[in-house]
Structure 1
């Protein structure tokens, strides 16, 4: 097989025929797939467009700091998945208790919301209004139920208009660059941990026992050194040690399909050489639209229209070095107010002490945008000035105390859950299923806004399905309407 690994008999069993699997994308889902396949003795090749492994969960060193693409944390109730993380990182892990807040009305509030914190922080008149709005909406629900047909309705019927406007609507419309009544209710059910205001009060006074709900998983795991990207680096290292291949700077340009079967992935190396990777099975973790555009024969007009309708938000990350030991105790802080451009900040030193020198820190400032707009096109000086101004306004920095040390941009940061995304996504998933030996998984492969533990679980289940021939139901991971944290 040109450029690929031949089908051969495994040395583990004289009767077991082993296939060659090609994995598109070296993000966490792709790497987890390849890692488990390599452990099972299955020949596997990962191809990745970037010059690093890890996808969005990558890290790099700059001026003595390890930088991530915003706040990444591994948290799970799955003991086997946690054990897997320790295996990949050789037990080199720190455990942290999550601290995150939201800045509103000139104050910092705990997030997820805690009833006592909100009661103490909001002005008395506003709090009375919020409680009255909640009672009113719950009463009117009895006679005229509000449908869960968009984000705004989902939140208002559970928290009332006042709390919706203060805590939920302002941040969401700012981050997503669209009105909340144009956003699917799926986003609310996955990203708001409490069922309603009463649920918030109950959980504050009587927190659930460990394992009952994902929403209050405060403990998380993080690499001791090397940033979150250490996971991807260790995956790649171990895959190659077990005989697999991870080809960086090798994007896929074409998938040749014959009689409904993907026969080979045509890729281009960093030297400009075109290589053909023969495959018995193909696992996709790159953005689903890009996969379908690479299929040969080409997809039809309906699929092309669906691709045009599915949208992504980009993020600009600007990294500010500050000449002080720390800026805040938080892992991250949400900034929903619309007079601020930055929508979230994170401080990596709070994830692991090894990520920054003791006398200095770095604050990562995130700005959501549409690719090509004014914020996307900012240079580091423009982004630094904007981010520093916002942090001064909320009282975290003094003017002139920060300098920009890096600027990164991700075009496929968030899949946009608008009101038509499900219909368009189903069109693309049906097209992918027409290729018999193609499996698409992970955040990008499923157009699903899930967490990193979900992506790893998807990859491991995909590998199990291929290695053992039993459907491990990878697509069911993070498919329920549950809070993702």
Structure 2
């Protein structure tokens, strides 16, 4: 008789977002560890999911598929191959995709499992004028600010360069040192405070280092000159800041489509994924996690799942509350972690208007029709509205919109769970969105055909509250040898999607090799060459 095969090892993965799904698929590809994914919501993809409202799809927050990591780029394209033929709007606009189409790749008009090549256009609406985002030195900037203000901004920048703040105590100091006070006050202060709901003086400088590393006035000028003086083919190959890229990959039906495909592969290869399952307790013994307490949200019943490994993408505040045998100080620090929440108002329009400053001559950046602006999204830096950012889903992918004769937009508002915005009734929020869009000149109320509201709690882990003592939380969780913290909320770090995936891959490598040192996981997104805006 042959010897019985050893029992398969099992990993509990908390959360079916990019980090959790990446970890599950990599465990199946590289190890004998079988993943069980427990997802509290009914959705796949976390904040990278795609909401579907009457055939119109919403990308929560906007997700460009671009990474400095070749490994991540290849991973995405193995799941969904890049287009080999023009998409619907490519054909309508006669876009030149000669350098971007993949020979033998799928035709977006014939199949859904395809990555589109998208041209990026993001702009700032400032004092009812459009400016390039990131800020570009050029005639539009001169027109918007005037020669006098630009001169004062330049003098302010030179002063900050010559006499920098020696010890950066907060985000305001960070911005002033890199941009000068006047540029900071003009373009960074109000929008950042709109996003986070508190003064820049109360936000640690570390947030700036995490999100805008490498960006500067000098860098923007150098990039502008280099872009103007090189050929299109050379421009395509240049390594620039992610926030300066000119095109990116994008799933035909939104980011959630890719993660739904990953989830399908996980289950086909022997993994298990359960939605509506909330982890409410985590049992430990010595230096190891032994199991998790799970609540079935459909009927309220609770049961225990045992596992040899635990990968957590749940918010650290909730993780610390769920762990047993946690010291009182660590529990207190966990309760003090802060998050910023987010909601999107989707508006279906018959048309959309803009100012003459919003029109583009570039064929690659024209919208599919004359009914909408050409941007992927627009940053709203206006004092008289609460709207923070505007997405135009037609320009992310024409296939996100059920009727190509309509315009589908997402109005993004930053808020705190339970505040006046978050608690406002959906109908009132839609009325607010229509009123503010009308005030900005984008629409008239008669243009609105339909609307929906999507709320996203804990969208942004904040770098205030007890974050300055986060290292103590990390030291505690790192001692649990088989517990791996991954993902944006799982690490309480403002990760991009590719950072979350790289952290998950590092965690899988550690589990595979029996390595209890978590340093490689935490090093992801600590010294990256770029940080997406």
The two structures have a TM-score, normalised by structure 1, of 0.91
**Residue 290 (str. 1) matches residue 318 (str. 2):** yes
**Residue 393 (str. 1) matches residue 439 (str. 2):** yes
Give the structure 2 partner of residue 35 of structure 1.
25
How is 1:105-144 mapped onto 2 (pairs within 5 angstroms)? 105-116=127-138, 117-141=140-164
| 8 Å contact from structure 1 (residues 183, 419) kept in 2 | no
Out of 326-335 and 233-242, give the one that drifted further: 326-335
Out of 50-59 and 321-330, give the one that drifted further: 321-330
Give the structure 1 partner of residue 420 of structure 2.
374
Give the structure 1 partner of residue 99 of structure 2.
none
Cα deviation, residue 212, structure 1: 5.5
Give the structure 2 partner of residue 335 of structure 1.
380
Give the structure 1 partner of residue 363 of structure 2.
none
**Residue 50 (str. 1) matches residue 41 (str. 2):** yes
| 8 Å contact from structure 2 (residues 214, 529) kept in 1 | no
Cα deviation, residue 296, structure 1: 2.1
Give the structure 2 partner of residue 72 of structure 1.
63
Distance 1:312 1:266, change over 3 A: same
**Residue 276 (str. 1) matches residue 304 (str. 2):** yes
Cα deviation, residue 127, structure 1: 1.2
From 433, 436, 450, the equivalent of 2:481 is 436
Q: Secondary structure at the match of 2:175?
A: helix
Give the structure 2 partner of residue 261 of structure 1.
288
Give the structure 2 partner of residue 362 of structure 1.
408
Cα deviation, residue 341, structure 1: 0.6
In structure 2, runs of 5+ residues without a counterpart are 83-113, 228-234, 352-368
Q: Distance between the aligned counterparts of 2:118 and 2:332, measured in 1?
A: 45
Q: Distance between the aligned counterparts of 1:458 and 1:194, measured in 2?
A: 22
Out of 95-104 and 322-331, give the one that drifted further: 322-331
| 8 Å contact from structure 1 (residues 133, 161) kept in 2 | yes
| 8 Å contact from structure 2 (residues 345, 411) kept in 1 | yes
Q: Distance between the aligned counterparts of 1:397 and 1:187, measured in 2?
A: 35
Give the structure 1 partner of residue 522 of structure 2.
475
| 8 Å contact from structure 2 (residues 277, 294) kept in 1 | yes
Aligned residues: 466
Cα deviation, residue 330, structure 1: 0.8
Deviations 1:379-433 (A, max 9, x none): 121111111222222222123322552111112011111285232x212212212
Q: Distance between the aligned counterparts of 2:120 and 2:523, measured in 1?
A: 27
| 8 Å contact from structure 1 (residues 457, 477) kept in 2 | yes
| 8 Å contact from structure 2 (residues 377, 390) kept in 1 | yes
Deviations 1:326-359 (A, max 9, x none): 5321111111223111101111221111111210
Q: Distance between the aligned counterparts of 2:321 and 2:465, measured in 1?
A: 24
In structure 1, runs of 5+ residues without a counterpart are 1-7, 11-16
Cα deviation, residue 18, structure 1: 4.7
Out of 198-207 and 49-58, give the one that drifted further: 198-207
| 8 Å contact from structure 2 (residues 488, 500) kept in 1 | yes
Give the structure 2 partner of residue 216 of structure 1.
244
Q: Distance between the aligned counterparts of 1:206 and 1:166, measured in 2?
A: 26
| 8 Å contact from structure 1 (residues 182, 418) kept in 2 | yes
Q: Secondary structure at the match of 2:463?
A: coil
Q: Distance between the aligned counterparts of 2:293 and 2:330, measured in 1?
A: 22
Give the structure 1 partner of residue 107 of structure 2.
none
How is 1:292-331 mapped onto 2 (pairs within 5 angstroms)? 292-297=320-325, 299-324=326-351, 326-331=371-376
Over aligned residue pairs, what C-alpha RMSD do you find?
2.1
| 8 Å contact from structure 1 (residues 182, 419) kept in 2 | no
Out of 165-174 and 206-215, give the one that drifted further: 206-215
| 8 Å contact from structure 1 (residues 155, 164) kept in 2 | yes
Q: Distance between the aligned counterparts of 2:27 and 2:221, measured in 1?
A: 46
Q: Distance between the aligned counterparts of 2:14 and 2:465, measured in 1?
A: 29
Distance 1:69 1:212, change over 3 A: closer
Q: Distance between the aligned counterparts of 2:117 and 2:215, measured in 1?
A: 28
Out of 50-59 and 413-422, give the one that drifted further: 413-422
Cα deviation, residue 157, structure 1: 1.9
Give the structure 2 partner of residue 13 of structure 1.
none
| 8 Å contact from structure 1 (residues 190, 481) kept in 2 | no
| 8 Å contact from structure 1 (residues 214, 484) kept in 2 | yes
Out of 475-484 and 381-390, give the one that drifted further: 475-484
Deviations 1:422-462 (A, max 9, x none): 32x21221221232211111101100111111112222222
